[in-house]
Amino acid sequence: MKPFAYVKPADVEAALRAVATEPGAKFLGGGTNLVDLMREGVERPDTVIDVTGLPLDAVDDLPDGGLRIGALVRNSVLAADPRIRARYPMLSQALLAGASPQLRNMATVGGNLLQRTRCAYFYDAAAACNKREPGAGCDALDGFTRGHAVLGVSGSCIAAHPSDMCVALAALDAVVEVRSVRGDRRIPIGEFHLLPGDTPQNETALAPDELITAVELPALPVAARSRYRKVRDRASYAFALVSVAAALEVRDGAVAGVRLALGGVGAKPWRARAAEEALLGGAADEAAFRRAAEAELAAATVRPGNAFKTALATATIAATLRELAREEDAG
């Protein structure tokens, strides 16, 4: 591991001054991703700014019925929060599906937003990777692609986004609050993560001197009946081949409200807008669920190793929506 300076600021303003004045600095929260990347030589910060002592670990009610979640709230704490479980069950389920209990006890909301891909070529210093070294090429394009993305990919990168939490946040229209010495910003979750295009090294809209301070969830009644389903190679501590965050409201047999986002298939947490549009106002039945899923996956770019994901995603979307529709019927 490359030697680095360590700073533990006393308050948020000190943290912002440190990152603004220390070139090559990185914030450290739970460290469950950053420390691994430093050990592998992928991340090589000159300075690590430990923000774990900052007062950013509260979950607060908003006047409209939404929630403001501090960036340093631990994943395990958020998953167990009764307000999350009641108002946004898909988020609690996504967090519980995301990692081992030990990692959930360390990982933070802000850190989860900044997770980097688990593509094996990204972690392998001997492999060509445009995300790790811009202009180097992408060995994944003609390599082992079983875990790679099929939506939002480019000729420069086909890595899948790894987060479960962010898939739920995408479905919930979360807003990311960030701060720097230049001021505050609010970034809608759909704009926070970037598609690879020709610059896969640029993964988020976050500037190098900005600190995530909170995530805001809007009041969203449809989310009270929601579900997160994750399909993976083993029952625990594995990244998604396909995941679905879904919320559904049915009135008189028709879809009156729907939220849908996908994981494991996208180069970023994938809001399934085409599927939502196809579903809204139509019949809440198996045929309609499958047609909507197929409409979303029509844009997929597949390779021999990951072509199975289109059928798997279609089946997982339909199964998740079917279960939610049955819950609606049962009252």
The structural domains of the chain, with segments of one domain joined by +, span 1-53, 222-330
pLDDT of residue 330 exceeding 80, the answer is no
Q: Which tokens in the block code for residue 322?
A: 């079917």
Residue 219 confidence (pLDDT): 98
Closest Cα to residue 131, out of 160, 100, 109?
160
Residue 331 confidence (pLDDT): 60
Residue 99 confidence (pLDDT): 84
Local confidence band at 268 (pLDDT 50, 70, 90 cut-offs): very high
Residue 293 confidence (pLDDT): 98
Measure the CA–CA gap between 192 and 115, rounded to whole angstroms.
Answer: 12
User: What is the DSSP annotation of 40-57?
Assistant: TTS---SEEEE-TTSS--
What are residue 215's DSSP bridge partners?
69, 176
For domain 1-53, the CATH class is alpha beta
Angle, alpha carbons 136-139-144 (nearest 5°) = 160
Local confidence band at 101 (pLDDT 50, 70, 90 cut-offs): confident
In total, the chain counts a number of residues equal to 331
Kindly report the backbone phi and psi dihedral angles of residue 191, in degrees, each rounded to the nearest multiple of 5, phi listed first.
Answer: -105, -10
Percent of the chain at pLDDT > 90 equals 93
Closest Cα to residue 261, out of 241, 246, 281?
246
Question: pTM here?
Answer: 0.96
Region 116-144 average pLDDT? 97
171-190: pLDDT as tens digits: 999 999 999 999 999 999 99
pLDDT of residue 128 exceeding 70, the answer is yes
- Give yes or no for a contact between 263 and 270, defined as CB atoms under 8 angstroms apart: yes
pLDDT of residue 108 exceeding 90, the answer is yes
| Beta-sheet strands, E only, within 72-206 | 175-180, 183-188
191-215: pLDDT as tens digits: 999 999 999 999 999 999 999 999 9
Q: Which CATH superfamily is domain 222-330 in?
A: CO dehydrogenase flavoprotein, C-terminal domain (3.30.390.50)
Kindly report the backbone phi and psi dihedral angles of residue 291, in degrees, each rounded to the nearest multiple of 5, phi listed first.
Answer: -60, -40
10 Å CB burial of residue 325 (0-12, 13-18, 19+) is buried
Measure the CA–CA gap between 120 and 230, rounded to whole angstroms.
Answer: 21
pLDDT of residue 329 exceeding 80, the answer is no
- The end-to-end CA distance of the chain, in Å, is 56
Measure the CA–CA gap between 243 and 211, rounded to whole angstroms.
Answer: 28
What are residue 249's DSSP bridge partners?
257
- Give yes or no for a contact between 175 and 131, defined as CB atoms under 8 angstroms apart: no
Measure the CA–CA gap between 107 and 105, rounded to whole angstroms.
Answer: 6
Residue 113 to residues 75, 93, 285, 302: CA-CA distances in angstroms? 11, 16, 34, 26
Residue 10 confidence (pLDDT): 95
Measure the CA–CA gap between 79 and 33, rounded to whole angstroms.
Answer: 19
pLDDT of residue 1 exceeding 80, the answer is no
Region 271-278 average pLDDT? 98
160-176: pLDDT as tens digits: 999 999 999 999 999 99
Region 213-242 average pLDDT? 95
pLDDT of residue 317 exceeding 90, the answer is yes
3-state helix, strand, coil in the chain (%, to 5): 35, 20, 45
Percent of the chain at pLDDT > 70 equals 99
14-47: pLDDT as tens digits: 999 999 998 889 999 998 899 999 999 999 999 9
Higher pLDDT: 331 or 4? It is 4
